[in-house]
Structure 1
Amino acid sequence: MKNPLLVFDENGIYCEQAKVYLDPWHPVDCAIITHGHADHSRYGHKKYITHHTNVPIIKHRLGDINVSGKSYNETFVINNVKFSLHPAGHIIGSSQIRVEHLGEVWVFSGDYKLEDDGVAIPFEPVKCHTFITECTFGLPAFKWTPQAEVFKNINHWWASNKEEKQTSILFGYSLGKAQRLLKHLNTDIGKIFTHGAIENMTEVIRPMVDFPETTRITRETTKQELLGNLVLAPPSAHGSTWIRKMVPYVTASASGWMAFRGARRRRAVDRGFVMSDHCDWQELLTAIEATGAEKVICTHGYTEIFSKYLRELGYDARTETTQFEGELSESDTKEIKEAV
């Protein structure tokens, strides 16, 4: 029996024929990176390859690294192995990685979602024999409300708070979620203020996306300036000294985990909006079916439950342990500390 095209070892997902890793979690010579979140793009690799829109993002996060950018559907060959990047729809610059050798095709999806968020290039299914999938929200209980309805509710919440002369503080991860929120907030209601970590990342992405105007919160920002307006902040800012100047305020969190009863209480926020940059249960099944894959490898999330269900559907499905963390690890703690 021939060796599999991709294997999971102590450093990450490895293509032995090409001597290349996909989203490795320990330093390696050559890494192909799906997107800019901290659990997928780590410091210390000698060479990085990623989508060209992700290049400024990971340079912002990781500093002066040796990185080259590729376009979607552009084939590049390493030691006779063909690679290409394809839209994942997760966040801006996110990719699936297609790997082909001797007629065999594998696709590593990284993180992905099917709904078009208006910021990232939408997910495109890629035909393959083996599909490596996340299942962050791989339970039937997860079913997302259409984005338009969620943003209608967010903007109504903001407008109501303004009538009560309160500041609206909306928590979302500094890369991905924050820009998605920013893109769809109704600036007719008021001004949008940002935490430094979100403003820094948005400045990197702004040349690529049409965002509304934002104002960075500084030590000079007054409570009166914020009243009735909206503040975008990373989840780690909640409960910090940074938000004390904003009283009176109302808090909300935008996350897939808000679908769980009790999640809002555990995060100590006043309102929860269910919105994720990952697939829900049905979207995962739809995406996998669209690939035509016979073999499916589940890497992070509800792996055992989801892979068991896939086997019941007739797939050759199994799990692999990785250091990917899905929506639990989409903020950069170092970056946030530096921005406060």
Structure 2
Amino acid sequence: MAKKPLLEFTDRGIYCAQGKFYIDPWKPVDDAVITHAHADHAYWGHKHYLAHHLSREVLLYRLGEINLQTVEYGETVLKNGVSISLYPAGHVIGSAQIRVEYKGEVWVVSGDYKVENDGISTPFEPVKCHHFISECTFGMPVYQWKPQVQTFSEINSWWRQNLDNGLATVLVGYSLGKAQRILQNLDLFNGKVYTHGVIENTNEALRRNGVLLNPTERITQESSKEEVRKGIIIAPPSSVGTTWMRKFQPYSFGYCSGWMAIRGAKRRRAADRGFVLSDHADWDGLISAIDATGCECVYLTHGYTATFSRYLSEIGFNAREVHTLYGGEEEDTSPQPSSEEREPETYDKSSSEVSPLGGDLEGVGGIS
């Protein structure tokens, strides 16, 4: 009889039968280990949550009062003889790879990750294992990221040009991860940073967790449009095309996403500028990360699984495709429905349904 694997792929999520816990489950379970706080990995409804301590306040903000245990990187938790420890994924602040070990068998669930040090997230750390579960959101050779210092040089130059031309500057990125990465790498000598309410709520949660972020000012109904237009505005994708954004006209609108590497992506988002900036590993980053684990088998959970699995097999890896409900926040190509009076990235506990796409849902705030 074949040995039962330590981790299994089920209709609820990645399950460890020996430890009686799930990793990033998308249906309610008793015991959930969470890689990071994006909505396609951290769902409401579990009885117990385990996550990295820097995810604590964002998880509470998004999910409400939950039974949450947090740990440091490298700290070990035992569940029925199974060792669980978290290691940096480099995806967003507080993101973690989950290392699971039992009787010498080691699995690592990467969640989402990137290998470039973004200056705000704890940098990715390869973890040796027998089995590695990896995303491949950008698992195609066309996706090759430039060093982020080059991208931010372009962003800062664009902002200065907008100021010279009398245009407001609106830069769009997801509220957890992208927004903080943008904030920490802007040239603040250009002016003040103003934030949409959903982004500022996330910033405040991270600050409560002890994260040091550059200064920002929330845009409210009382904010002076003239003063806001002198700085730079960081906004979520759902604000694109809304009355909230139109109130800052005339403006130049930039979109930060890995998808901007593809011709036509900027046009589909109606952006004036597209900046290739992703919180996921590119083609080379995926290959280097997988190789560094020394794994015997790699499981690809979302993205270009067929193409990437075939390539890995050709170069000597034992690669397999698996189907999960991960893959939301940067794969979502259209803004979410929004209202100026709500922030839908906080889960509605009255509903038992969760979007199968997952994703980093964004809301829209207001300004008079």
Q: Deviations over 1:296-329 (max 9, x none)?
A: 0000000000011111111111111000014225
State the distance in 1 between where 2:71 and 2:269 align: 39
Distance 1:325 1:296 in 2: 17
Matches within 5 A, 1:217-236: 217-236=219-238
- Contact 1:83–1:99 under 8 Å retained in 2: yes
Correspondence 1:3-18 to 2 at 5 A: 3-18=4-19
Q: What SS does the aligned partner of 1:282 have?
A: helix
Letter in 2 for 1:141: V
Letter in 2 for 1:334: E
Partner of 1:155: 156
Is the contact made by 1:194 and 1:231 (CA closer than 8 Å) also made in structure 2? Answer: yes
Write the deviation string for residues 176-200 of structure 1: whole angstroms up to 9, x where unpaired: 1000000111111011110000011
24-33 vs 185-194, which deviates more? 185-194
Q: State the match for 2:353 in structure 1.
A: none
| 2:282 maps to which of 260, 270, 280 | 280
Alpha-carbon displacement from aligned partner over 1:75-121 (angstroms, at most 9, x marks no partner): 11101111100000000000000011111100000000000111110
Q: Which residue number in structure 2 is paired with residue 134 of structure 1? A: 135
| Partners of 2:258 and 2:245 in 1: CA distance | 24
In structure 2, the residue matched to 1:321 is 323
* 1:47 equivalent in structure 2: 48
Q: Which residue of 1 aligns with 2:311?
A: 309
State the secondary structure of the residue aligned to 1:183.
Answer: helix
The aligned counterpart of 2:356 is: none
* Alignment check: 8 A CA contact 1:253 1:273 kept: yes
| Identical residues among aligned pairs (%) | 53
Structure 1 residues 273, 92: CA separation in 2 closer, same or farther (over 3 Å shift)? same
Structure 1 gaps, min length 5: none
Asked if structure 1 preserves the Cα contact closer than 8 Å seen for 2:244 and 2:365, the reply is no
Q: Residue type matched to 1:119 in 2?
A: I
Q: Distance in 2 between matches of 1:312 and 1:102?
A: 31
Aligned equivalents of 1:67, 1:337: Cα separation in 2: 25
Aligned equivalents of 1:10 and 1:322: distance in 2?
Answer: 8
Separation in structure 2 between the aligned mates of residue 28 and residue 174 of structure 1, nearest angstrom: 27
Residue of structure 2 in register with 1:334 after alignment: 345
Whole-angstrom distance in 2 between the partners of 1:223 and 1:132: 47
1:300 partner letter: H
Q: For 1:212, give the aligned amino acid.
A: N
DSSP-derived class of the 2:190 partner: coil
Counterpart of 2:251 in structure 1 is 249
Shift of 1:15: 0.3
> Structure 1 79/339 Cα, relative in aligned 2: closer, same or farther at 3 Å?
farther
User: 2-side partners of 1:210 and 1:106: how far apart?
Assistant: 33
Task: Deviation per CA, 1:47-71: give whole Å up to 9, x if none.
Answer: 0000111111101100000000011
Maintained 8 Å contact 2:236/2:363: no
| Alignment partners' CA distance in 1, 2:87 and 2:200 | 28
- TM-score (normalised: structure 1): 0.97
- 1:285 alignment partner, SS class: helix
Q: 1:323 to 1:293 in 2, by over 3 A?
A: same
Aligned twin of 1:292: 294
For residue 38 of structure 1, what is the amino acid of its counterpart?
A
- The residue type paired with residue 345 of structure 2 is K
2: CA distance, partners of 1:30 / 1:153 = 44
In 2, distance between residues paired with 1:115 and 1:69? Answer: 25
Distance 2:144 2:173 in 1: 20
TM-score (structure 2 length as normaliser) = 0.90
Partners of 1:39 and 1:329 within 8 A in 2: no
> Aligned to 1:337, what secondary structure does the other structure show?
coil
Provide closer, same or farther for how the CA distance between residues 166 and 239 of structure 1 changes in structure 2, counting only shifts above 3 A.
Answer: same
| Structure showing the higher helix proportion among its residues | 1
Structure 2, unaligned runs of 5 or more: 337-342, 347-361
Q: Distance in 2 between matches of 1:261 and 1:90?
A: 25
User: Contact 1:161 / 1:228 at 8 angstroms: preserved in 2?
Assistant: no
- 1:81 — aligned with what? 82
Structure 1: which amino acid aligns with 2:111?
A: G
Identify if the C-alpha distance between structure 1 residues 239 and 338 changes in structure 2 by more than 3 Å, giving closer, same or farther.
Answer: closer
Structure 1's 280 and 211: CA in aligned 2 closer, same or farther, altered over 3 A? same
The 8 Å contact of residues 85 and 96 in structure 1, kept in 2 or not, is answered as: yes
Q: Aligned partners of 2:327 and 2:288: how far apart in 1?
A: 22
4+ runs deviating over 6 angstroms: none
Contact 2:220 2:365 in 1 (8 A): no
